[in-house]
Structure 1
């Protein structure tokens, strides 16, 4: 005889795991949704639309649109340098539709960051800057901005990679860039990349048009440094020794003789007469391999190491000259104007 009671019990036992899995999936989905919603509610009011008026190459008035994030209640706003570049007028619109005039306090094309201030407005909602060094691959992130003119758009994704390098429009390499798959489009530039804790951990800066899901943000720790310099000096100070160079391979026989293991370095191609490098004894064809003991594997490393901390103080350069390792003490000066990408 067929035991219907036992079969019913068996079916019930089979159905229970499926019900439990469905409940777990629903709970996870709710947790993800709530995290994104929480970030949008906390940081969304601090995101502004940045409209610019500028004169184009033909002398005609042109406009542009980007995003920005308020980082202080008195109206300090971070955005991209390329958003405000050449702008004669800046106008901001917040999430409630309030329009504010703004002015540029300073910009740093080398990191594609700019600092602006909203005029005659106080007690604005602000978003805190987080510690980008604490980020992990796979971590949930939310991007907020005005892509293609669609205001207060929220997209979510994960951190795809950390420590990327990205070439700025100035030609300088931006270090420690965050890669994300959170969807970004033109107009997102300058807007925040936000962690699930509601902290701004990056400023969205670039997309690769041919790719899908490969977008970049300047890390918040880089933004902290630039912010401090712009507030104190109105610019980001960097060292200058008066050379142009190129990245070259170090011959293995030269490395063995010199007792180093460097595979490449920064070769000096030209030197400005009377500049610190000239006064300090450097010559063309010298290959710089160390600055104050830190490895220089190419021109980008040299540019990075010539930071504000080394302005006006004696810096030790180790170079290969005719296969021999030599040291020179040089005192970098402040770079007072943008120069070519390989000039430093």
Structure 2
């Protein structure tokens, strides 16, 4: 995603690496640089700001919570955090102009802290574009728009501080590929967009670390795109289930060397549901899973990530260590929502 202002500061002809006059490209003064930065931010806010909404959850006529959201489709589809809707079936959206709209919760996914909403009435609303978070780079401009502490339409700006973070959701499952930013976030920003200088949503703001300065997180837009699609098609996010409880455990060095393993850890099975696919395949408590469907498993986070919808009703390989020996079994994961007493994996 481009990080340049929409208007070039100077034009260089093709093949000409010099600035005006044939010398080195001119450097910007502090005032010019700040003006260029300000133009980028204001242009993004003008473009994306109208698609950002305040979300109020009401129970028994009383306000039970509030947060932010972003319209992603002109007909009234909106993304927010799962923890903002708090299991509610309907919420109230307030637009930048103060228009109140009733919306249904089409589905929420606590595993990624995302929820998809639809406005009840026939509307045409300004919508933001979900960008490709896979193209992000550290240091890019990141702009957060939301309603922190009830202050509507608040804008903060910073940079993408880090990529590929993991964040534990309320369900215990790890949210993968989280974007870290130093754009200031506060309670109420939750569910609002983190936006690039190209005016595309690169994340849905989800968490802050209390007491820390400039450490905030957003669920990556690619994850949001996947979750929104799953909910729109199925009403939920489908995930595979094999019926185990596990913990990330180091592989003894002598065992790793003997087996020729590059990874230093795996997912140790602490419990195996006797009615689940893992037990039917022959996995036992104490087995150390090191690969699923030929993809390395270095811990619980990898195991959960790999148990996606593509594995449902398929037969996949499981490589594991038992009594210092590497073994392989074949397993048929089930739809987690249909599994009895389903654990995290």
Common fold by TM > 0.5: yes
The structure whose residues are more often helix, as a share, is 1
Change (3 A) 1:297 1:113: same
Q: Aligned partners of 2:152, 2:122: CA distance in 1, in Å?
A: 21
Structure 1-normalised TM-score?
0.89
Structure 1 stretches (4+) deviating beyond 6 angstroms? Answer: 337-342
Change (3 A) 1:75 1:28: same
Q: Aligned partners of 2:30, 2:342: CA distance in 1, in Å?
A: 51
Q: Which residue matches 1:302?
A: 303
2:248 is aligned with 1:243: no
Q: Kindly state the Cα deviation for residue 249 of structure 1 after the two structures are TM-superposed.
A: 1.4
Q: Aligned partners of 1:145, 1:50: CA distance in 2, in Å?
A: 10
Do the aligned residues in 1 keep the contact of 2:55 with 2:67 (CA within 8 Å)? yes
Deviations 1:216-255 (A, max 9, x none): 1000011111111111101000010111111111112222
Q: Which residue matches 1:111?
A: 112
Do the aligned residues in 2 keep the contact of 1:50 with 1:93 (CA within 8 Å)? yes
Q: Kindly state the Cα deviation for residue 258 of structure 1 after the two structures are TM-superposed.
A: 2.5
Q: How many residues were matched structurally?
A: 320
| Bigger Cα Rg | 1
Q: Aligned partners of 1:343, 1:223: CA distance in 2, in Å?
A: 20
Q: Aligned partners of 1:341, 1:248: CA distance in 2, in Å?
A: 22
Q: Aligned partners of 2:344, 2:70: CA distance in 1, in Å?
A: 32
3-state SS of paired residue (1:83): helix
Deviations 1:120-161 (A, max 9, x none): 142100000001111111111111000000000111111111
Q: Which residue matches 1:277?
A: 278
Q: Aligned partners of 1:70, 1:340: CA distance in 2, in Å?
A: 35
Q: Kindly state the Cα deviation for residue 84 of structure 1 after the two structures are TM-superposed.
A: 0.3
Do the aligned residues in 2 keep the contact of 1:52 with 1:88 (CA within 8 Å)? no
Change (3 A) 1:33 1:179: same
3-state SS of paired residue (2:124): coil
For the aligned residues, what is the CA RMSD? 1.9
Q: Which residue matches 1:14?
A: none
Do the aligned residues in 1 keep the contact of 2:243 with 2:343 (CA within 8 Å)? no
Q: Aligned partners of 1:39, 1:115: CA distance in 2, in Å?
A: 23
Query: How is 1:203-222 mapped onto 2 (pairs within 5 angstroms)?
Result: 203-222=204-223
Deviations 1:308-342 (A, max 9, x none): 01111011000101110000000100001799997
Q: Aligned partners of 1:338, 1:222: CA distance in 2, in Å?
A: 24
Q: Aligned partners of 1:112, 1:250: CA distance in 2, in Å?
A: 32
3-state SS of paired residue (1:87): coil
Query: How is 1:189-204 mapped onto 2 (pairs within 5 angstroms)?
Result: 189-204=190-205
